[in-house]
Amino acid sequence: MTQHLEIAEGIRLLDAFTAIASRAAAAILAVPDLNRRDKADRSPVTAADEAAEAVVLEGLARVLPGVPVVSEEAAGKSPPGILGNRFVLVDPLDGTRELLAGESEYTVNIALVVGGVPVIGVIGAPAFGQIWRGMAGHGAERLRLPAGAEPDDASERVAIRTRARPSDGVVAVVSRFHRDAGTDAYLDRIPNVQRMTCGSSIKFCRLAEGTADLYVRLTSISEWDVAAGHALVTAAGGTMTTLDGGPVPYGRPGFRVPGFVVRGDRSATHAG
């Protein structure tokens, strides 16, 4: 399989990550008091972030013993050392601002990176009772799964795929809280573009399930914010590249990726 991950192992990890994300979703929903604080970079963190991270780290330690895990909150306190060929990127609660604002678009993100490429991605949306997941070379799907339930208990399981670029204009997902003039200017150059506002990694989910076509970000972002979405969109038939069309790097010092473009249609031109 892609990047030397056997299919049987990949399926096992896909189910394991799904179960972990489901348990983390339940932990988020069970927090009675969010207890917001601001981190050094002025981004918010809550008791729900910490509860979800504890669940995810415990689960991954059992599923992948000895494999390095880079998780948003833990990495800020104690950056990991040498990663090796395989490591896991985790955002235990992506969209903390959405959660604090009473929005539903916040997620749990878990991704396996092999050889610098995200090959498995799981995104759970606690408020929706849904999980999107994908594995390179094996496709992607959306599960209707109550928070805390096991993958086999999904009430709905739907294969998803990105769509061909519409001839009458594209739908571009844009951030609710991180809009910038540069991205708007980029999108303005695309004929008949429609903007769909989304929070957190739900943006990747919309491309993967074929309800949007484009996601552009001109500035850098943490790897744990995008790795699961990158794997999901790729598994569903799309692409994610740097702004100049190159591969998106993972595992670099600081764990930041540069600006990028995500396209649902692999045949779409580089200009958008």
Query: Tens of pLDDT along 144-190?
Result: 999 999 999 999 999 999 999 999 999 999 998 777 888 999 999 99
Query: Tens of pLDDT along 237-253?
Result: 999 999 999 999 999 98
Distance CA 111, CA 255 (A): 14
Domains of the chain listed by start with CATH number? 2-160 (3.30.540.10), 171-263 (3.40.190.80)
Query: Tens of pLDDT along 6-20?
Result: 889 999 999 999 999
Residue with the bigger pLDDT between 271 and 223: it is 223
Query: Tens of pLDDT along 134-145?
Result: 999 999 999 999
Q: Which distant-in-sequence residues (6+ apart) come within 8 Å of 181 by Cβ?
A: none
Q: Which distant-in-sequence residues (6+ apart) come within 8 Å of 58 by Cβ?
A: none
Query: Tens of pLDDT along 32-83?
Result: 999 999 988 889 999 999 999 999 999 999 999 999 999 998 876 656 667 8
Distance CA 50, CA 47 (A): 5
Q: State the pLDDT at residue 1.
A: 42
